[in-house]
Amino acid sequence: MTFQPAGAATIAAKTPASETARRNQPLQSFDLLVGPLSFSQAARRGLAFYLLSDGIAVWLATTGLVAQAFVLLGLSRLLAIAFGWLAVGRRSARRGLGAVRRPWLEALLYLFTLAVVAAANGTGSFAASLSGFPASQALRVSAATAIDAAVGYLTVQGDGFFRVVTRGLLSLLKGLEALLTLTPWPVLFAVIGFAAWKRGGPMLLAVVWAALGYLGLFGYWAEALQTSALVLASLCVCLVIGIPVGILLAKSPVSRAIASPVLDLMQTMPSFVYLLPAVAFFSIGKPPALIATVIFALPPLVRLTCLGIEQVPLHVREAMQAHGATPLQTLLKAELPLALPSIRTGINQTIMMCLSMVVVAALIGGGGLGYNVLFALQNVQYGEGILAGLGIVFCAVLFDRLAGSGRKGGA
């Protein structure tokens, strides 16, 4: 067991500046040792986790990746400690549930751990493995290659499907664009002005006309309409996908557990990353721009629809049921109407996120105001860039005030 202090010393020596690390070090090595014991709190589910991690570690060790196997073991112990901790806290709240302890299994695993660790120590790679994380270039490259292959395969195999989607999206976009561009500008002024008047009175009318006037006077009219068409088309797709999915998530905890990380991924993954696959699937132009926009803008709508439906009080559902409502009737007559404010907020969020994507979308041929910004940046024209950027802001103002969540005064 001499390796333990040695490992600790290595880390301490490597990071002398980090006072916290040194203070925590003895505790961590101790936990690493008693990991299996702390883990005895984690009950059955934890046991499965433990067996899995150790199994993978053994497999790694047999394929020669001893250092990685050791790191995995260490990590799994730390995780187990954390989970064991959680389990203790939770169980004290409801004692007697799932308290299955298997001391002999713990002991066995502990011995096993020590054996594997000792083996790793024998190779001498242990100390080295702690000073820098044992990265595997090959692993990353092979994963990336696999993804490339998958994208390539899908591009070929799904060609027909992607073609149909592309055509559908394109016709939606073209239709909206035609509707907007073929309408004479005075008519648009009048219609939007009227909507603003109904919604917020003369004050809003003034704001809306000022924004429209800016777009017109500075020559962004056509681009603004293109951008609006892209935003509206994305919104349509988002609504068609987002609301049903939101309802599904509210109804089924399983699908929520699955979808939640996917939604997180969609929101946090930098949009440039999926811009390229989108191009691979849907070729260059507006459809991939639209798809990238939808991926980015969909999560808030899904989440807020789900939230709105979840927030419908139980007694309202009960009352609907008690009077003989079918699940569909409950949804349409009680849940959706009560979730409407939340869904409206979701729509507003989605519109704003669509607008924030227009510059990125311009990179792959989304056109519109985003292209103006992009062009100005590429040619180092600060003035042009800022003016076009302002154009996007005014578009956002128009959308927000007219299609917003309705929190603003007025009717």
Residues that bind another protein (CB under 8 A): 94-97, 313, 315-316, 318-326, 329, 333-334, 337-338, 340
Report DSSP state, residue 406: S
Q: Which is nearer to another protein, 22 or 91 (CB)?
A: 91
Q: Residue 409 CB, nearest distance to another protein (Å)?
A: 19
Q: Residue 253 CB, nearest distance to another protein (Å)?
A: 16
Gap between the Cα atoms of 47 and 56, Å rounded: 14
Phi, psi at 183, each rounded to 5°: -75, 130
Q: Which is nearer to another protein, 102 or 333 (CB)?
A: 333
Take residue 37 and report the two structure tokens written for it: 């014991």
- Output the CA–CA distances (angstroms, integers) from residue 179 to 175, 182, 208, in the order listed: 6, 6, 20
Q: Which is nearer to another protein, 111 or 316 (CB)?
A: 316
User: Which residues are within 8 A (CB) of 337 and not within 5 positions of it... i.e. 6 or more apart?
Assistant: none
Burial 8-31, CB ≥16 within 10 A → b, else e: bebbeeeeeeeeeeeeebeebbeb
Between the two ends of the chain, the Cα-to-Cα distance in Å is: 76
Q: Which is nearer to another protein, 22 or 317 (CB)?
A: 317
Which residue is listed with tokens 């713990």?
106
Q: Which is nearer to another protein, 231 or 320 (CB)?
A: 320
- The sign of the CA dihedral 152, 158, 164, 168 is negative
Take residue 206 and report the two structure tokens written for it: 């003034």
Phi, psi at 222, each rounded to 5°: -65, -40
Q: Which is nearer to another protein, 190 or 340 (CB)?
A: 340
Q: Residue 322 CB, nearest distance to another protein (Å)?
A: 4
Gap between the Cα atoms of 305 and 299, Å rounded: 10
Q: Residue 282 CB, nearest distance to another protein (Å)?
A: 41
- Output the CA–CA distances (angstroms, integers) from residue 32 to 14, 73, 74, 90, 397, in the order listed: 19, 9, 7, 23, 56
Q: Which is nearer to another protein, 291 or 320 (CB)?
A: 320
Q: Which is nearer to another protein, 226 or 345 (CB)?
A: 345
Gap between the Cα atoms of 54 and 411, Å rounded: 64
Count, in order, helices (H) and strands (E) of the chain.
19, 0
